[in-house]
């Protein structure tokens, strides 16, 4: 592995575990850090020394301890300087590229978007590079770029298959690196969002955590033992054959009664258009359902029961401590939350604990932030893939 951004050296497995623990949970005292990682004081000193020398970690004042009782430098907590590096994150959709700048702790400090007029890979890379140039001009300490794409990604570099962009075997990382001179990591957008929420969001500190996204497509990710569970099905659109109502609607995408046909925004719009001849937006359909429009209410109610079925199945079989529902389609819960809850209860044991379901109204900048977190993980901390990424409980 080559040297990391701006002189940060490659990290050993032990150094990486220390850096991640402080990044995600810091500032941490040395005693607490050693306890969390089950390290001796000597081992911790050996592992933190190169991190301090490289500037990845710093000693900070202990705000909770009076100055007169502090015992010199060893008592000073360790932390990262979040603003010391910036990261670019991009989410590529069918018609837009959404960009953000984040700190080392994934706080979004700038946003910039641009429409796409073509899906030709080189021209899409041009758009990403133009956005990167504008963002870098205002935030020059950029350490790397992350890009999230709906579809299957190989080796964090090649978009193997994306139905949204009609791409096959597109070397997107190389195309953007050639244009920007920055190191680039590419990943399936749901995987990136799961990593971001696990490290810095709703799943922070949880051992078992699940993410379900609804929008243009359907996404699912699972964290177990503090790590995202990789799967050969990542980016393949599992919702097309995830049957939740065998008597449900048949739509252009997915099998009859599948999660895709019942829940995604295009499918819901298709059902209303086929029934009424009206081409309504998703928000208009939800609003009409709330107002009591019979056809809109029927479609939204079916979608709500399907969502409850998915949530109950995830809770029953994966047993996560929390399920995060995210994506641009989560307005369904506000419009038909009662039906969602009823469906969950109907498919859970009567004595089971209530499902810890958190809903996050997210936009495409949240997906871009997820891609930036992948850049932090891979380019700075040296995590080669999801199986290398670990953090404390």
pLDDT value for 234: 66
Query: For residue range 26-60, what is the model confidence (pLDDT) as tens digits?
Result: 899 999 999 999 999 899 999 999 888 888 889 98
Q: Which domains does the chain have, with CATH numbers?
A: 5-80 (1.10.10.10), 84-195+366-388 (3.30.420.40), 204-359 (3.30.420.40)
Residues 6+ apart with CB under 8 A from 13: none
pLDDT tens, 199-253? Answer: 899 998 899 999 999 988 889 999 998 888 887 766 566 767 788 888 888 787 7
Asked whether the beta carbons of 373 and 89 are under 8 A apart, the reply is yes
Q: What is the pLDDT of residue 8?
A: 59
pLDDT of residue 247: 85
Pairwise CA distance, residues 372 & 199, whole Å: 12
For residues 357-371, average pLDDT: 90
pLDDT tens-place string over residues 271-300:
999 989 999 999 999 999 999 999 999 999
User: How many CB atoms sit inside 10 A of residue 47's CB?
Assistant: 22
CA geometry: angle at 279 spanning 278 and 285, to 5°? Answer: 90
Residue 74 has pLDDT above 60, yes or no: no
Q: Given pLDDT bands bounded at 50, 70 and 90, which one contains residue 383?
A: low
Can you tell me the distance from the alpha carbon of 38 to that of 227, in angstroms, rounded to the nearest whole number?
A: 18
**What pLDDT shows up at residue 230?**
83
For residue 369, pLDDT beyond 90: yes
CA dihedral of 362, 367, 370, 375, whole degrees rounded to 10:
-160
Give the pairing of strands 208-214 and 322-326: parallel
Q: What are phi and psi of 105, to 5 degrees?
A: -105, 20
Mean pLDDT of the chain: 87
Rounded to two decimals, the pTM is: 0.84
Which residues, in sequence order, are CB contacts of 39 under 8 Å at separation 6+? 33, 47
DSSP secondary-structure letter at 379? I
**What is d(CA 112, CA 131) in angstroms, rounded to the nearest whole number?**
7
d(CA 262, CA 281): 16
Per-residue model confidence (pLDDT) at position 163: 87
Q: How many CB atoms lie within 10 A of CB 1?
A: 8
Q: Which residue has the higher pLDDT, 6 or 254?
A: 254
Q: What number is the average pLDDT over the span 136-147?
A: 91
In this structure, what token pair is assigned to residue 14? 């032990």
**Contact call for residues 50 and 15 (beta carbons, < 8 A):** yes
70 vs 208: which has the higher pLDDT: 208
Region 162-191: mean pLDDT is: 94
Interval 326-332 mean pLDDT: 92
Is the pLDDT at 164 greater than 50, yes or no? yes
Instruction: Name 21's Cβ contacts closer than 8 Å, sequence gap at least 6.
Output: 28, 33, 36, 37, 391, 392
Measured CA to CA, the distance from residue 190 to residue 3 in angstroms comes to: 28
Q: Which of 332, 346, 51, 356 is nearest to 213 (CA)?
A: 332
* Rounded average pLDDT over 349-353: 91
For residue 99, what pLDDT is reported? Answer: 97
Buried b (16+ CB within 10 A) or exposed e, 147-173: bbbbbbbeebbbbbbbbbbebeebbbb
For 182-192, the pLDDT digits (tens) are: 999 999 999 99
The percent of residues in the chain predicted with pLDDT above 70, rounded, is 90
Phi, psi of 224 (to 5 degrees): -135, 130
pLDDT at residue 2, as a whole number = 36
Q: Which one has a higher pLDDT value, 109 or 8?
A: 109
pLDDT digits (tens, 9 = 90+) for 84-130: 889 999 999 999 999 999 999 999 999 999 999 999 999 999 999 99
Please give the pLDDT value at position 68: 46
Burial of 45 by CB count in 10 Å (0-12 exposed, 13-18 middle, 19+ buried)?
A: middle
- Interatomic CA distance for residues 307 and 309, integer angstroms: 5
Above 60 in pLDDT, residue 65? no
CB count, 10 Å around CB of 126?
A: 15
Q: Return the beta strands (E) in the chain as ranges.
A: 58-59, 78-79, 86-92, 96-102, 108-115, 142-149, 152-154, 158-162, 167-170, 184-188, 208-214, 218-224, 227-228, 322-326, 357-359
Helix, strand, coil shares of the chain, percent, nearest 5, are 45, 20, 35
Exposure of 4 by Cβ count < 10 A (0-12 exposed, 13-18 middle, 19+ buried)? Answer: buried
Tokens representing 45 are: 């000193």
Predicted confidence band of residue 64 (pLDDT cuts 50, 70, 90):
low
């Amino acid at each position: 592995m080559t040297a990391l951004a701006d002189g940060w050296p490659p990290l050993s497995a032990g150094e990486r575990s220390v850096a991640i623990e402080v990044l995600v949970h810091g500032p941490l005292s040395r005693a607490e850090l050693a306890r969390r990682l089950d390290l001796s004081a000597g081992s911790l000193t050996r592992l933190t020394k190169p991190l301090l020398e490289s500037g990845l970690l710093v000693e900070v004042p202990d705000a909770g301890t009076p100055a007169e009782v502090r015992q010199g430098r060893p008592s000073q907590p360790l932390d990262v300087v979040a603003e010391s590096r910036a990261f670019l994150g991009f989410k590529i959709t069918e018609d837009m590229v959404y960009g953000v700048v984040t700190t080392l702790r994934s706080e979004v400090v700038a946003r910039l978007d641009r429409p796409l007029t073509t899906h030709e890979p080189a021209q899409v890379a041009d758009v990403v590079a133009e956005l990167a140039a504008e963002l870098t001009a205002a935030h020059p300490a950029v350490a790397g770029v992350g890009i999230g794409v709906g579809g299957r990604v190989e080796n964090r570099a090649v978009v193997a298959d994306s139905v949204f962009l009609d791409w096959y075997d597109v070397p997107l990382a190389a195309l953007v690196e050639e244009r920007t001179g920055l190191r680039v990591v590419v990943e399936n957008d749901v995987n990136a969002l799961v990593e971001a929420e696990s490290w810095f969001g709703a799943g922070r500190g949880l051992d078992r955590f699940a993410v379900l996204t609804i929008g243009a497509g359907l996404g699912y990710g699972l964290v177990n033992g503090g790590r995202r569970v990789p799967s050969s099905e990542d980016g393949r659109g599992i919702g097309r054959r995830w049957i939740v109502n065998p008597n449900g609607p048949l739509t252009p995408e997915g099998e009859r009664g599948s999660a895709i046909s019942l829940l995604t925004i295009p499918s819901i719009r298709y059902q209303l258009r086929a029934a009424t001849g009206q081409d309504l937006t998703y928000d208009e359909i939800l609003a009409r359902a709330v107002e009591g429009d019979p056809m809109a209410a029927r479609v939204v109610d079916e979608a709500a029961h399907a969502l409850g079925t998915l949530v109950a199945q995830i809770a029953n079989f994966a047993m996560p401590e929390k399920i995060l529902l995210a994506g641009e389609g989560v307005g369904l819960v506000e419009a038909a939350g009662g039906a969602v809850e009823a469906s969950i209860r109907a498919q859970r044991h009567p004595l089971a604990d209530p499902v810890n379901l958190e809903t996050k109204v997210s936009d495409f900048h949240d997906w871009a932030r997820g891609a930036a977190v992948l850049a932090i993980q891979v380019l700075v901390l040296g995590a080669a893939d999801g199986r290398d990424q670990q953090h404390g409980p």
